[in-house]
Structure 1
Amino acid sequence: MATIGLDNLYYSKITEDIDGTETYAAPVKLAKAINADISIELAEAILYADDGAAVVVKEFKNGNLSLGIDDLGSTAAGDLTGAKIDDNKVLISTSEDGGTPVAIGFRAKKANGKYRYFWLYKVKFGIPATNLQTKGDSITFQTPTIEGTVMRRNKTDANGNHPWKSEVNEDDTGVAAATITSWFTEVYEPVFEEEVVITITVQPQDDTVTEGVGAELSVTATASSGTLSYQWYSNDSVVFQ
């Protein structure tokens, strides 16, 4: 569905462990959003066989995020670009600046009045563009634009993959209210239910007894959830299940 609005622009600072695993800080408001343009570059490979394309692989490589905002405060500029605020509270940009990646979250209003929510898990920004113009007969607003490279994160999800974006429509079937209400209180973490592995151990196995002699049979089953079933056989006939 078409979108007709954009707001709630947040960023979250990232701390990386020695192995590169990301930890996200509590999100903070970045600025008032004017526009957000995301372009994606794919890594593509085509295997040709029998005079045609037999296998086509397209994977996310990186992306570009262009944000138009009303203003970029000194604190946010420092967090995003690596500029430093000196003792007199003046923002100083140097040739050695290099901002660390951050996560970017926002939401877009859809034509039906509901919202679509986003998190980009790892974005590294460059120096923001600045447009200045003298005042003329009419008033023209000049607003900053910041551009960043969108990357996949190092931290894998439960399926062993590297997320680069999460996206949800609040009016999609099955979306929990808590998912939406907490969207900007912390960076969303993917949730996948792990496959249940059931282990059944039957003792004893292949036990032979004579008439009138007892034998003990037991079942040990371990699983977090699921339905367990088992059978005992006597001379190839089911005697208990």
Structure 2
Amino acid sequence: MPKIGVDRAEYGKYGEDNKISEIKRLKGLRKAKLDVSQEIENFYADDGVYEILDGGISDLGLEFELADILTEAKSDLLGAPIEDGMEIYNQDIQSPYVAASFRTKMSNGKYVYFGLARGKFSIPSLDAQTKEDKLSAQTDTISGKFAAREDKLMMVIAREDSPSFDLNKFYDRVYGTLPDPIEVTSVSVNPKTTIKTQGTAGEQQFTSLVIPVDAADKEVTFSVAPKPTGLAISTDGKLTWTNAVAVGDYTVTATTKGAKVGTATLTLKTPQ
């Protein structure tokens, strides 16, 4: 199935106990390139291919192109200490072992998750250019090499359209831990403004848009104020009113469990 997007670049750093305690996000993912090398050779005998020798996966390469790589991420991925806001790269610097993952979106709206179990990223080069008349965004690229973990695991691929898909099991298999829930940052209500004529019963369906779209809990509670007799809103955002509801403005509010609020307005205007 065609792939139409890529996002959610993540990584986890192995500690001294050879375990990962936290999964972090690399924001601004533009491209992800995964190179897989497998040792397969023909064995010839009796004047032909006698057997195909398969040595398994020999090498995994991962490249992320990002809008920007923040200092904290560079410290985690490259082992560069931070002093007075500066990244310090000494001659004997060594990148720590990490696990990494990302996902691609398919044309059916479902995701395919890719996880690499253990590897190291290398210090990226820089190719900067001057600003020209036409804007040209410059991005950061970081590349890594991955090998087999102690349990021989190298890579995990999980499709969301599989009947047995379980995202928590994917994270547990790759990282040995689960990411913190993604919190809601904002919510909006659509349509933003609705104008109807007073004296006629009616209804309007309002919908909420929670950001980010992959927030852990996107549930919202709808309410309306003021709320005279004859005006009501359902749990899914359908506002209904009778012909007795007075002229005026009525505010529809969607509230998340984290107390983020979005609003819209119904205006009942005076009949002509």
Could you tell me how far apart the structure 1 residues matched to 2:27 and 2:69 are? 6
Q: Return the match for 2:38 from 32, 38, 42.
A: 42
C-alpha distance in structure 2 between counterparts of 1:125 and 1:92, whole Å: 16
Between the aligned partners of 1:110 and 1:188, the Cα distance in structure 2 is 24
Q: TM-score when scaled to structure 1?
A: 0.67
Distance (whole Å) between structure 2 residues aligned to residue 98 and residue 188 of structure 1: 21
Aligned equivalent of 2:70: 73
- Shift of the 185–165 alpha-carbon distance from structure 1 to 2, 3 Å rule, reads closer
Aligned with residue 135 of structure 2, among 112, 136, 139: 139
Which residue matches 1:3? 3
Q: Secondary structure at the match of 1:112?
A: coil
Instruction: Report what 1:180 is aligned to.
Output: 167
User: With structure 2 as the length reference, what TM-score do the two structures score?
Assistant: 0.60
Secondary structure of 2:22's counterpart equals: coil
Q: Is the 8 A contact 1:65 1:148 kept in 2?
A: yes
Counterpart of 1:67 in structure 2: which amino acid? F
Q: Among residues 149, 158, 165, which one is paired with 1:168 in the alignment?
A: 158
State the match for 2:119 in structure 1: 123
Residues 27 and 185 of structure 1 are in contact (CA less than 8 Å); yes or no, is this contact kept in structure 2? Answer: no
Deviation at 1:89, TM superposition (A): 1.9
The alpha carbon displacement at 1:142 in A equals 0.6
- Determine which structure has the larger strand proportion and give its number: 2
The aligned amino acid for 2:167 is: I
Higher relative contact order, structure no. (Cα contacts within 8 Å, ≥ 6 residues apart)? 1
Q: CA deviation at 1:15?
A: 2.9
Aligned alpha-carbon RMSD (Å): 2.0
Equivalent-residue separation in structure 1 for 2:26 and 2:40 (angstroms): 34
Q: Give distance in 2, aligned partners of 1:188 and 1:126.
A: 20
In structure 1, the gaps of 5 or more residues are 157-161, 190-241
Taking structure 1 as reference, are residues 188 and 57 closer, same or farther at Cα in structure 2, changes over 3 Å only?
farther
* SS across alignment from 1:133: coil
Q: Does 1:82 align with 2:82?
A: no
- In 1, distance between residues paired with 2:119 and 2:73? 14
8 Å contact kept, 1:41–1:62: yes
Paired residues for 1:138-217 under 5 Å: 138-154=134-150, 156=151, 162-175=152-165, 179-180=166-167, 183=170, 187=174
Give the secondary-structure state (helix, strand or coil) at the position aligned to 1:166. Answer: strand
Equivalent residue of 1:25, what SS?
strand
Paired positions, count: 175
Deviation of 1:48 after TM superposition, in Å, equals 2.1
Within 1, Cα distance between the matches of 2:59 and 2:143?
13
Contact kept, 8 Å, 2:158 with 2:170, in 1: the verdict is no
1:94 and 2:121 matched? no
Q: Once the 2 structures are TM-superposed, how far is the Cα of residue 186 of structure 1 from its aligned partner? A: 7.9
Q: Per the alignment, do residues 16 and 52 of structure 1 end up closer, same or farther by CA in structure 2, a change over 3 Å counting?
A: farther
Give 1 or 2 for the bigger CA radius of gyration.
1
Distance 1:186 1:60 in 2: 18
Identity in percent:
31
